[in-house]
Structure 1
Amino acid sequence: MTDDDAADGAGPAYPLHWEADVVLRDGGTAHVRPIRPDDASALQAFHVAQSERSTYFRFFAPLERLPESDLRRFTHVDHRDRVALVAVADEAEGERIIAVGRYDRVEEGTAEVAFNVADDHHGRGLGSVLLEHLAAAARERGVTRFTADVLPHNAAMIAVFREAGYAVSQRMDDGILTVRLDLDPTVRSLAVMADREHAAEARSVSGLLTPRSVLVVVAAEEDAAGERLLASAVLRHLVADRPGTEPELHVVGPADDVPGVARHADLADVPGPVDLVVLAVPAGTSGAVVRRCARLRPRAVLVLSEGFAEVGPEGLARQRDLLRGAHSGGMRVLGPASYGFFRQGGPDTPTVNASLAAELPSPGRLGLFCQSAPLAVGLLASARRRRLGLSTFVSSGNRADVSGNDAMQFWTEDQQTDVVAMYLESIGNPRKFSRVARRLAAVKPVVVLTAGRSGHVDPAGHAVRSTRVPRQALDQVLRQAGVVRVDSQHQLLDVAMLLAHQPLPAGRRVAVLAGSEPLAALAAEAASSAGLVVVSRWTLSGGAGATVGPDQVEDEVAAAYAAPDVDAVVVAHVPTVGSPDPAVARAVAAAAAGTGRPTVACILGLTGVTEELTAPAPVPGGEGRTTGSRTVPAYATPEDAVVALAAAARYGAWRNADHGRPVEVPDADRPRARRLVEAALAGRGDELVDLTQDAAADLLSCYGLRLWPTVVARTPEEAVAAGDALGWPVALKSAAGHLRHRIDLGGVRLDLAGPAAVVEAMEHMRAHLEPLGAADVPFEVQRMAPGGAACVVRSAEDPRFGPVVSFGMAGDAVDLLGDTSHGIPPLTDVDVRDMVRSVRAAPRLFGYRGLPALDVAALEDVLARVSVLADDVPELHALELHPVVVAEEGAAVLGARVRLGATGRADSGRRTLPG
């Protein structure tokens, strides 16, 4: 649907893309949308229900009812100069307005803003949500400043403005406080929005995972045997693990008879409130059932049923109807087609197994997320075989609402989880994923397996946008976020097992301790191939089957751990005759726990988390006291062990590195850039618009990027005049697109010192280029830049990834080899430096083979400014700066191609849920 498809009499200007489902401060949900003319009665009901105090704060006078003239003015808006948003929730009597926010433009770039929140919904963060959404709408309409008149004792509204993170000023006049907010995003305002998003989403997932009461709704239809089977399984599992401590359980429908469950004939008979609804009904009735459950005030709904987006457009419509009903009723949705979830109980919460898994892994410190229900079966079974304990397991199924991003928000603060492992079939919002994962990875390891290396997989049931990014872009996104990427389910649990049971390596230096010299050599080679540095090799005396005393084993193990230049130890003990000496495992476990040196082991007969490789861990400075125990993970092969250790070392290096500060462009003229973009796209609809060189130069100049002037010349006389105006020497280029930058094809002549050289070059080029179809194409004249290295900076707005900035050196060889780095804004200064240095041709910038070092700082400044421009302007469909010539001093942008187009960025900076 487009904006012109608005219904309900709202008119063709209704901005449909402003509609959004949002998570509130308490973890509940609401729907935000532009106001419509048919909201008049609902708005009057909202006003009448307000207290006298709230009405006075809003209108500065008592007002029992809104006059018809005001009611019409408030509900009939133009969505440009007069904008109003409402937050609505479904209640027993129907949809109810629970908050209103509006702005009215008072002069160019400035609008007056006001809010009103229902008395019974105060404290849920509705004011800050509406401010975020109104600010986004205002910036889209060219409004850069809000003003508000507030009574001094309206502390709640003043706090909304002060805590928003924008630049705020205020003044008092005649007892009225006038607050002024500049809406340009700042580092602080973006951080405030991210913090609020994090807190709200973490709380909503906590409400899902820790219900004290559960209602299971089971299909009664004759053809719904599959749904009844799923519901009965979850009911049994909810009561099986810890009888007497499970949540209070209710069921409606024909599920198996399970003791301790309250049965009800109809949803109307269920006493409320209920924290979690488990839905096992046909997809076609799910939306209606969820709406009937809204009176019970559930915090979440788990959908086990299939028949949604995975079956096609009709199923996708059913899925969207389910979401709308759930979000309007304050519920998050896990699923559809979910395998369920498991959460180990804490001091104040029960253990909950609302999954289809009858046998679960033991309790532990790992949080596991898996989108696919079938793959969840194998992952949980593998975790059990390894005795790898879990704190939480979540399966999102179709990922219609609750996603890996939500789970990471929860695990960031979860005291029961130390490590996170995720299997992702798709990443619906990579830009948000990068932001959330980086926050989590700063405090806890995040191990990620994706379905396919490129991230371009679109599984059935996952409503994801298309993408055009290069295959290696996802690698850069994950690296930038600090997650540990693995290649298989096997590696996912291998790496998670190490990170859950051993400290992070301080570096890449390892000692190899093996039962024989050949095995030591093999383990050392595997370690080196994985990127580790082998600094020593040790051989156990009893490795060939000879009998040695436990004291000798302990001495030999201790010697390997005593080396001062060792960051981690790799143990490989596979006797060719007989069984391993148990003293080896005991000595390794004690040495690893006592020294704190990260250790991985391959010992015959041991796999996963074992008692044999577990030892008490001492408290640093605790005079011999211990704190729990520490286990050395055991792997099937030395190769598996060192791959896991190398991944942990890379993460440790990222964790200890300086990740820099977000790049800023203090001199950016964002209002002017917005006006230029709107003017270029006015009346063009969905058409892509290529800017002229002058228009491109204007837009780039808003972000401090100077495009060197170019003059078009059709005759030698015009070319000479251009050289005189620009200054000699000049470059002469064919304006033909297929010959742009092609020196090898004769499309460019450089360093022409004067009129005679220009005339000769033009005549020669015209004759040479005629067979190439460029005989009548004009030429471009440009003053020569100082000598240096030619680079290319690009940006593209991707439907799924948002803005993707790339960097590379110019040249056919570089293009053919795909030697390009990528970054997803917002970038830090360290991200920018890494992008420049990560291309293989980067040595050309730093004094390669005796050439002078170039001004890389100036190049990084260009790249940083492009990243901010791309982040600010979602209509920037494509940008190419080619070439950017980096000299010993400065970087010159000699050419630019800019294409604009209407956009609908998935991650717009305002809090939204999938819709």
Structure 2
Amino acid sequence: MSDEVESAPADYPREWEADVVLRDGSVAHVRPIGPDDAERLHRFHAAQSEESIYLRFFAPIKRLSDRDVTRFTHVDHVERVALVGLVGDDIIGIGRYDRLGGPDAPSAEVAFNIADSFQGRGVGSVMLEHLAAIGAENGVAEFVADVLPQNRKMIQVFTEAGYDVKRNFDDGVISVRFEIEPNEKSQAVRLAREQRSESQSVRALLNPSSVAVIGVSSKGPSVGGRVLTNLRDGGFTGRVDVVHPSVEEIDGYRTVRSIGDIEGRVDLAIIAVPAAQVLDVVRECGPAGVKALLVVSSGFAETGSAEGAERQAELLSVARSQGMRVVGPSSFGLINTRADTRLNASIAYEMPPAGHLGLFAQSGALGIAVLASAGRRGLGLSDFASAGNRIDVSGNDLMQYWIDDDETHAVGLYLESVGNPRKFTRIARQLALRKPVIVVKPEVSAFGVPPGHRVRETRTSPAAFREMLRQSGVIRVGNVHQLFDVAQLVINQPLPKGRRVAVVTNSDALGALCGDAALSWKLEVTRGPVALAPDADVESFRDALVAAFEDESVDTVIASFIPPLISGGTEVARAVAEVSACYDKPCITTFLGIHGASEALTATSPDGARVVTPSYPMPEDGIRALAAVTNYAGWLQRDRGEPLAPEGIDRKGVRAMVRRVMAEQPEGRDLTGDEVAEFLGLAGISVWQSIPVRTSKEAVAAAEKLGFPVVVKSIAPEVRHQVASSLRADLRSPLAVVEAFDALAERLTQFGDDQFVVQSMATPGIGCVVTSSEDPLFGPVVTFSVSGPPTDLLDDVGYRIPPLTTSDVSDLVSSIKAWPLLDGSHGTAADRAAIEDLVSRVAILADENPEIAHLELNPVSTNPTGLDVLGARITLAPHSLRQDSGRRAMT
């Protein structure tokens, strides 16, 4: 972080700072402009071409006046906002807006100036995204700009951003105008640009044309030496340079004294020097034009020391300030098995075979375990990446790359931590729609985060993360062994079209084992178990398999065999492979006590493709994998739904109220009852009036004001969910109100409870709870549950992380175990449409207003004709910059 930011005034909007990936995969830093940028601004202007200056200022201004520089660098960050993009200490772009017509005016004039050397690299698009997000926060509704007709690049920045741009040509100038509120198209454009940029940055890591190795010892074995040997033995097709300060040749490679002495571009620098020397090497890499860094050196935050943490933070700062991406530190390395690259920039002893599984792991130790498991299974890899301490490049980046990679057919991720769950679920969902994503992830907790990983602390339940993965369509497994069980199936077989299975075997006991396992994983056994005789020949096996595959009531065939008495086991395996290759249905196998069966399970399909039928040591392993893949196939077939769009939400009114409350009390506070009703009313949610009372006399007065019948209830946090002990309903007279109040007051004395309200009697129904909480790690987390014991005692709560679609909301509502209480299975059905509408409105409020620290609607009384929100609480609080917000930013 630069000095002028460190010494910034108190009103400096530090949350606007962001590192961003540009179109070519390089990194730039975006931050608000400041008075100390004056000299940088002069340098930037002096380096611009005459054409660029004229297009920006409509005049040939050779040098900015001191007065202009002062005006440009002194802004209030509200009515006048300016951002600069930097690489190193140089400005590469400036974006600004000036509000037109006063503090509350809806329009602002926007302008950009991009360095000639960075034009065409997406700097203007990034600036527009950030300015639009800031403008919306400050109450700006639209941007306007005057552009010369020949400034086609700037016109494209506006028109290609996805906004509805209106143009007018007058007096030789094109005036443009557009609303900056994100719409479906502008959001899609932003996400597509982010994906292309981050994919390109990973491409430079995994497909380098030139590699420099720094840290190879001339005196004996070393980590750097191991990487160098692997590069050579793996057959890397690019150029390799070795940097060493004192010797001229190492292991047959001529050396250079420093990375700056290398002729030509260096795509990837592999750093294996002691930790204390890493920063010096990184500082040399930037000026030398290095694109990306792989740091295999250890001795950073994973040590648990303050010194290691500081060194790691500085490594990230220096690398990003010079436009470089970083894998590591303490990384196991990178591998690309494709014939045109053959990159083994790792400390693995063998290059894994080429194939179609992309693998990502975080720690080095787990990297070794993952590669070893892949080798034992004979699974070929397209790529492998170990993030180490994950200070920069993460699983999110690799997923962005694999989205468009035709050589990768499935992805496996071993995640020890997730630094940005909101972004993870968004990218994982996009990737899972194209190819299976298999995830090994321990539960989210303070104990599960390895030393050195930058992760915000979460306050939500681990169930939220489980639901996030399910919502994303990923296949979650318990360990590396299960990851490869699933990978064997999805790489080699078609996806099942349903849950119906056939079991073919030659052992009654084995058939029963397969059938029981299938049922336990909620698969349907629609054929068999068919048990052949122990002395059956190969043709009998073949006929039984063909019959199973031909059965229209079967989606998957499970074949499990013990050694036959007549035929050889490998002959049976070969028959299974040949039959399976002829059908577009998956098949899994188990061959107990039959040696060589796995090698015989390869055949050629009628169209000439090589087909491998996966085999598992025990039927339970294969059936567990099959169930996971079947669930994934079902997720693919589900309706994705539409973006939430309930009518009657006054978004501007909600934002204005949030800004008003936070301006009055910056530390935040609970909203009053009247404010809660007003706030929810702006979102189209009506809350029943509650009158606070402290005595039975006040309770009677409140009841007479509302009209009988009424309810008296406690709103004390300790008992608010315990309906039976905290509420008296259907009170139809003053005497009934007095008796109810006195009974509750006496009963709840132990809680020191004097928090009572009187409310009109609602239509009888089942109580539900809808909440949203802003979590430091996950952002907004929306929940739904049935009030009372299902919530309080059984933790039967559904979780989802916005933004949600209509299908997500429907899935949330029916995900709880107590849903049968509401769907009519055990009595009268609740109005599902009304419930989903309410959850949708809460999800939108939570997604668009990170200041909503907590929102709770409780109880929500549901009935066949609608619902009544009988109680509500809202707490607003200042928020740290939410990860994966409406502007591109690296985390």
TM class, shorter-chain normalised?
Answer: over 0.9
Q: Does residue 1:82 correspond to 2:62, yes or no?
A: no
The 5 A counterparts of 1:704-715 are 704-715=684-695
| Alignment correspondent of 2:321 | 328
Match of 2:782 in 1: 805
Instruction: Label 1:716 to 1:518 Cα distance change in 2 as closer, same or farther (>3 A).
Output: closer
Partner residue in 2 for 1:613: 601
Quickly say closer, same or farther: Cα 1:142–1:286, change in 2 above 3 A: farther
Would you say the 8 A contact 1:232–1:256 is kept in 2?
no
Give me the whole-angstrom Cα distance separating, in 1, the residues matched to 2:197 and 2:322.
16
Partner SS for 1:323: helix
- CA distance in structure 2 between the partners assigned to 1:742 and 1:516 by the alignment: 55
1:162-561 equivalent positions in 2, closer than 5 A: 162-218=159-215, 229-242=222-235, 245-253=237-245, 261-311=253-303, 312-346=305-339, 349-452=340-443, 457-537=448-528, 539=530, 541=532, 543=534, 546=535, 549-561=537-549
Aligned CA distance change for structure 1 residues 133 and 829 (closer, same or farther; 3 Å): same
User: Structure 1 residues 800, 462: closer, same or farther in 2, change over 3 A?
Assistant: same
Alignment of 1:132-151 (within 5 A): 132-151=129-148
Deviation at 1:358, TM superposition (A): 2.0
Q: Assess if the C-alpha contact under 8 Å between 2:700 and 2:737 holds in 1.
A: yes
In the TM superposition, residue 12 of structure 1 has moved relative to its aligned partner by: 1.8
Look up the SS of the partner of 1:635 in the other structure: coil
Contact 1:580 1:603 (C-alpha < 8 Å) held by counterparts? no
State TM-score, norm by structure 1: 0.92
Amino acid at match of 1:631: V
Q: Residue 177 and residue 693 in structure 1: after superposition, are their counterparts in 2 closer, same or farther (change >3 A)?
A: farther
Give the stretch that moved more between structures: 268-277 or 828-837: 268-277
Aligned to 2:724, what secondary structure does the other structure show? coil
- Counterpart CA distance in 2 for 1:252 and 1:668 is 64
What corresponds to 2:117 in structure 1? 120
Instruction: Pick closer, same or farther for the CA change 1:455–1:526 going to 2, 3 Å.
Output: farther
Deviations, residues 706-737 of structure 1 (Å, cap 9, x unaligned):
22222223455644454444343222223544
> Cα deviation per residue 1:339-393 (whole Å; 9 max; x = unaligned)?
00111225xx321111111213211111011111111112111111111111111
SS at match of 1:214: strand
Provide the rounded CA distance (Å) in 2 between the counterparts of 1:310 and 1:344: 29
Work out whether 1:823 is the aligned partner of 2:800: yes
- The Cα of 1:181 is off from its aligned counterpart by 2.9
Could you state the TM-score of these two structures normalised by the residue count of structure 2?
0.95
Structure 1 residue 331, shift from structure 2 partner: 1.4
Contact 2:515 2:529 in 1 (8 A): no
Provide the secondary structure at the position in 2 that maps to 1:910.
coil
How far residue 846 of structure 1 moved from its aligned partner, in angstroms, is: 1.7
CA contact (8 A) 1:219 1:253 kept: no
Tell me: CA distance 1:192–1:80, structure 2 relative to 1, closer, same or farther (3 Å): same
Q: Distance in 2 between matches of 1:736 and 1:541?
A: 67
Mapped partners of 1:704, 1:678: distance in 2? 19
CA contact (8 A) 1:727 1:783 kept: yes
Q: Flag the 1:318–1:579 CA change in 2: closer, same or farther, 3 A.
A: farther
- 2, 10, 13: which one aligns with 2:11: 13
Match of 2:55 in 1: 57
Q: Is 1:762 matched up with 2:750?
A: no
The CA distance in 2 between the partners of 1:640 and 1:174, in whole Å, is: 74
The match for 1:24 among 17, 22, 26 is: 22
Q: CA deviation at 1:607?
A: 8.8
Deviation at 1:329, TM superposition (A): 2.0
Which range is displaced more, 782-791 or 335-344?
A: 782-791
Structure 2 Cα separation of the partners of residues 203 and 585 of structure 1: 44
Tell me whether 1:784 sits opposite 2:761 in the alignment: yes
> 1:870/1:766 Cα in 2 relative to 1: closer, same or farther (>3 Å)?
same
Q: 1:73 to 1:284 in 2, by over 3 A?
A: farther
1:873 to 1:818, Cα distance in 2 relative to 1, 3 A: same
Residue range with higher mean Cα deviation, 567-576 or 490-499: 567-576
- Is the 1:610–1:631 Cα contact (8 Å) retained in structure 2? no
Once residues 492 and 867 of structure 2 are traced to their aligned partners in structure 1, the CA distance between those partners, rounded to angstroms, is 49
What is the rounded CA distance, in whole Å, between the counterparts of 2:731 and 2:466 in structure 1? 44
Instruction: Return the alpha-carbon distance in structure 2 between the equivalents of residues 531 and 453 of structure 1.
Output: 27
What amino acid maps onto 2:727 in structure 1? Answer: V
User: What per-residue deviation string (whole Å, max 9, x for no partner) do you get for residues 265-288 of structure 1?
Assistant: 223312231110101123333233
Judging changes above 3 Å, is the alpha-carbon distance between structure 1 residues 379 and 220 closer, same or farther for their aligned structure 2 residues? closer
What SS does the corresponding residue of 1:295 show, helix, strand or coil? coil
1:330 Cα deviation after fit: 2.0
For 1:608 and 1:713, the matched residues in 2 are separated by: 80
Is the CA contact 2:445–2:458 (under 8 Å) kept in the aligned structure 1?
no
Deviations 1:476-512 (A, max 9, x none): 0000000001011110111111110011011111111
Q: 1:868 Cα deviation (Å)?
A: 0.8
AA partner of residue 741 (structure 2): M
Matched letter for residue 310 of structure 1: E
> Match of 1:45?
43
| 2:853 alignment counterpart | 877
The runs of 5 or more residues in structure 1 that have no matched partner are 620-625
Measure, in 2, the Cα distance between the counterparts of 1:455 and 1:197.
Answer: 30
Comparing 190-199 and 486-495, the one that deviates more: 190-199
What is the root-mean-square deviation of aligned Cα atoms in Å?
2.5
SS at match of 2:641: coil
Cα–Cα, structure 1 residues 8 and 438, in superposed 2: closer, same or farther, change >3 Å? closer
Q: 1:435 to 1:903 in 2, by over 3 A?
A: same
Which residue of 2 is the match for residue 671 of structure 1? Answer: 652
Q: 2:628 is paired with a residue of what secondary structure? A: helix
Alignment pair present for 1:648 and 2:629: yes
Distance 2:285 2:462 in 1: 44
1:694-709 equivalence runs, <5 A: 694-709=674-689
Report the 3-state secondary structure (helix = DSSP H, G, I; strand = E; otherwise coil) of the residue aligned with 2:510.
helix
> Partner amino acid for 2:153?
A
User: Cα–Cα, structure 1 residues 391 and 670, in superposed 2: closer, same or farther, change >3 Å?
Assistant: same
8 Å CA contact 1:540, 1:553 repeated in 2? no
Q: Deviation per CA, 1:57-87: give whole Å up to 9, x if none.
A: 2112221111111101111122222211111
Report what 2:611 is aligned to: 630
Q: Distance in 1 between matches of 2:657 and 2:357?
A: 50
Over the matched positions of the two proteins, sequence identity in percent amounts to: 47
- Alpha-carbon distance in structure 1 between the residues aligned to 2:45 and 2:245: 41
C-alpha deviation, 1:583, in angstroms = 1.8
Partner of 1:623: none
AA aligned opposite 2:194 = E
Secondary structure in 1 matching 2:582 = helix
Deviations 1:564-616 (A, max 9, x none): 21111111112287995322111100111001220111114679994400110
- Determine if contact 2:721/2:787 at 8 Å carries over to the other structure: no
In the alignment, which residue of structure 2 is the partner of 1:622?
none
CA distance in 2, matches of 1:380, 1:589: 27
Q: Distance in 1 between matches of 2:676 and 2:119?
A: 47
Cα distance in 2 between the residues matched to 1:333 and 1:718: 66
C-alpha separation in 1, matches of 2:468 and 2:637: 19
Which of these residues, 76, 90, 95, is aligned with residue 101 of structure 1? 95
Once the two structures are superposed, what CA deviation does each residue of 1:208-248 show, in whole Å capped at 9, x if it has no partner? 100000011117899xx8xx7111111111110227x3444
Amino acid at match of 1:613: L
2:708 aligned with 1:728, yes or no? yes
Q: Which amino acid aligns with 1:587?
A: A
Residue number in structure 1 paired with 2:573: 585
d(CA) in 1 for partners of 2:129, 2:689: 40
For the residue of structure 2 that corresponds to 1:134, the secondary structure is: helix
Q: Does 1:773 align with 2:752?
A: yes
Instruction: Assess, with a 3 A threshold, how the Cα gap between structure 1 residues 735 and 788 changes in structure 2: closer, same or farther.
Output: closer
- Offset of residue 887 of structure 1: 1.9
Cα distance in 2 for partners of 1:249, 1:580 equals: 55
Shift of 1:542: 6.0
